Amino acid sequence: MAAAPAPSWTGFYAGLSFGQRWDRADWTTNGFLIPGVPSVSPPYAFDTDASFGAAPARFGGYFGYNFQIDRSWLLGLEADIGDATNNGKSFVGIPGTGIGFALPLGANSSETTVDMTWDGSIRGRAGFFVAPNILLFGTGGVAFQHVKETILCSGALPAPSGCNNPLNFPNPTPDSINTIEKTLVGWTLGGGVEAALWNNWLLRAEYRYSDFGTLNETFALGQIPPVDSPGNAVVSTRITTQMMSIGLAYKFGATPAAEQSWSMPAKAPVATPNWTGFHAGLGLGSRRISADWTTTSLAGGLAPDADNEASFDGSAFRIGGYVGFDYQISRFVVGVEGGGGTAKNSKSQPNVPGLGGMLFAGPDATTVEANWDANVVGRLGYLVATDVLIYGVGGIAYQNVSLHAVCTAASFECLFDHDETVSETLHGPVFGGGLEAMVARDWLVRLDYRYADFGSVDHTFFSGEPFQSPTATTAIRMQSVTLGIAYHFATGG
């Protein structure tokens, strides 16, 4: 009997992609260098750390070459470049210089900004064919990330909150603006699902993690007391990114289905996959929690100090499960699905936002922690091939969150010692999408992305405190990437 034709992936290809990149830049001010004075630790306050996490949309392109070894394996080489929109994150004041200390809200115009713009990579690829037209692949190699860091030190205020030189009185001191730009080199690892569709087109869903190490720089500041000489801040910034993208590429050369035949005797017609039925599966991946804390007021209606905002962003490994039912209507698939998972997203900072930073070291801290999550969504998909589904989801999601704040008399932030935790299970809309493939009889593999907005946790901490009782609102958002495998309980044939 004649062998059934099957795709060959050998050859060059080029494509476009869109998706989202999650940036993380953990800033630490390590000390100061002052002419004629030995290197000193950050003075005045212990707020030396800041997290400049952002989650911009990303658009890019990629090209490469695949070599198909046999019916099961593929090797390749690929390069890509992309850019992100709205990729900057700013922080009021300068970490480690006592930002906002004893200053009412808005009085400090000093600012620190981290922008992460274009990125690129050169990677190897290795894949396994779970079906003749469906490839599960891993990828890794060298990554590039352009980073721009800017410190604006206000000339309107004296140190530690600004760069005004008192000796210039009454003449104003200009703002000090220092920018450092570098293209970092690091490593990247990831993987995804790719499917050969009609003619020469390849559709993929891909996730990658990149680590660029630590950027060490020295920024020139203004006048640093007690010597009133120009000083330099010694700064280190830990840079990592995560990326989820959907790509569509064109493979050059002959039509894949016409290039090669595998030993697949055509004794009987191949049954068309049927997507109608229940499914249940397990998923592994990453969950990013964005928690933006804002202290809006203190007891008695007082305005908080200028360090009233903080970002508790972080990513963690997530494990979960899902069950659902799909119904196929021609090339469309509609369904409903429920699921949940758990991850340990926890981020702390060494003070309470809006209370002015710690004058003396102590146990004062603020922590935001996210635990389990759950969701119920509807699904709508289109079969770009009989065994490849591209789909969108939308529905409602749930997220368990805990906020923990410690304020002590020893740090002079509070008159009395306080240790308070508030826990809530939030709910909000969730939407997303992904790529799913029927890789064998009754088995489904997917790469899935979702975004959820849970509103905010509003709470007043330390109610017994006469002045330093902060009312805070913390906006909570979630993004997740999941690689899942499910068993499909087919109905009909």
CB 358 within 8 Å of CB 48: no
Q: Would 263 be classed as within a structural domain?
A: no
Q: How confident is the model at residue 46 (pLDDT cuts 50, 70, 90)?
A: low
| Residues 374, 100: Cα–Cα separation, whole Å | 39
Q: Is the model's pTM score more than 0.95?
A: no
3-class DSSP assignment, residue 389? strand
Match 């933006």 to its residue by tokens. 292
Residues 253 and 278 in one domain: no
Q: How confident is the model at residue 79 (pLDDT cuts 50, 70, 90)?
A: very high
| Residues 271, 178: Cα–Cα separation, whole Å | 65
- Cα of 79 vs its chain's centroid, Å: 22
Look at residue 342 in the predicted model and tell me its pLDDT. 94
Residues 288 and 200 in one domain: no
Domain count, the chain: 2
The first and second tokens of residue 155, run together, are: 């000339």
Q: Of 235, 257, 279, which closes a domain?
A: 257
Quick check: 387 pLDDT over 60? yes
Look at residue 267 in the predicted model and tell me its pLDDT. 41
CATH of the domain at 84: 2.40.160.20
| Residues 227, 251: Cα–Cα separation, whole Å | 66
Residues 228 and 324 in one domain: no
Residues 342 and 424 in one domain: yes
H or E stretch including 256? Answer: helix 256-259
Residues 487 and 423 in one domain: yes
Q: How confident is the model at residue 424 (pLDDT cuts 50, 70, 90)?
A: very high
DSSP label at residue 409: G
Q: Would 66 be classed as within a structural domain?
A: yes
Question: Best-predicted range by mean pLDDT among 108-117, 357-366, 380-389?
Answer: 380-389
Look at residue 283 in the predicted model and tell me its pLDDT. 94
**Where on the phi/psi map is residue 69: left (φ > 0), alpha (ψ -120 to 50), or beta?**
alpha
CB 257 within 8 Å of CB 263: no
Look at residue 404 in the predicted model and tell me its pLDDT. 95
What average pLDDT score do residues 370-398 get? 93
Percent of the chain scoring above 70 in pLDDT: 81
Q: What values do phi and psi take at 301, rounded to 5?
A: 75, 15
Residues 245 and 286 in one domain: no
Residues 6+ apart with CB under 8 A from 153: 94, 110, 162, 163, 175, 176, 177, 178, 221, 222
- Higher pLDDT pick, 122 / 85: 122
Q: Would 265 be classed as within a structural domain?
A: no
Residues 6+ apart with CB under 8 A from 463: 469
Residues 165 and 305 in one domain: no
CB 377 within 8 Å of CB 336: yes
Quick check: 221 pLDDT over 80? no
- Across the strands, what pairs with 134? 131, 195
Q: Of 189, 224, 257, which closes a domain?
A: 257
Q: Would 319 be classed as within a structural domain?
A: yes
CB 397 within 8 Å of CB 373: yes
What average pLDDT score do residues 317-346 get? 94
Residues 6+ apart with CB under 8 A from 254: none
Residues 228 and 284 in one domain: no
- Higher pLDDT pick, 415 / 491: 415
pLDDT tens for 126-156 read 999 888 888 999 999 999 999 999 888 777 7
| Residues 201, 184: Cα–Cα separation, whole Å | 33
Q: Of 231, 257, 283, which closes a domain?
A: 257
Residues 374 and 397 in one domain: yes
Q: How confident is the model at residue 171 (pLDDT cuts 50, 70, 90)?
A: low
- Higher pLDDT pick, 351 / 208: 208
Quick check: 381 pLDDT over 90? yes
Residues 241 and 281 in one domain: no
- Across the strands, what pairs with 260? 6
Look at residue 465 in the predicted model and tell me its pLDDT. 85
Look at residue 258 in the predicted model and tell me its pLDDT. 36
What average pLDDT score do residues 400-422 get? 89
Look at residue 43 in the predicted model and tell me its pLDDT. 47
Residues 6+ apart with CB under 8 A from 148: 114, 115, 116, 117, 179, 180, 181
pLDDT tens for 85-115 read 777 787 777 777 665 444 555 555 778 889 9
- Please give the residue range of the domain that contains residue 378: 271-493
Q: How confident is the model at residue 235 (pLDDT cuts 50, 70, 90)?
A: confident
Residues 6+ apart with CB under 8 A from 38: none
Quick check: 28 pLDDT over 80? yes
What average pLDDT score do residues 256-265 get? 40
What average pLDDT score do residues 235-254 get? 89
Look at residue 108 in the predicted model and tell me its pLDDT. 59
What average pLDDT score do residues 371-385 get? 94
What average pLDDT score do residues 24-45 get? 63
CB 152 within 8 Å of CB 179: no
Q: Would 4 be classed as within a structural domain?
A: no
Look at residue 356 in the predicted model and tell me its pLDDT. 72
If you average pLDDT over every residue of the chain, what do you get? 83
Percent of the chain scoring above 90 in pLDDT: 44
Residues 6+ apart with CB under 8 A from 168: none
Q: Would 264 be classed as within a structural domain?
A: no
What is the secondary structure of 34-99 as a DSSP string?
A: ETTEEEE---S----EEE--B--EEEEEEEEEEEE-SSSEEEEEEEEEEEESS-EEEEES-TTS-T
Residues 249 and 299 in one domain: no
Least confident of 148-162, 195-209, 431-445: 148-162
Q: How confident is the model at residue 227 (pLDDT cuts 50, 70, 90)?
A: very low
Q: Would 262 be classed as within a structural domain?
A: no
- Across the strands, what pairs with 436? 389, 446
Residues 131 and 230 in one domain: yes
Q: Would 46 be classed as within a structural domain?
A: yes
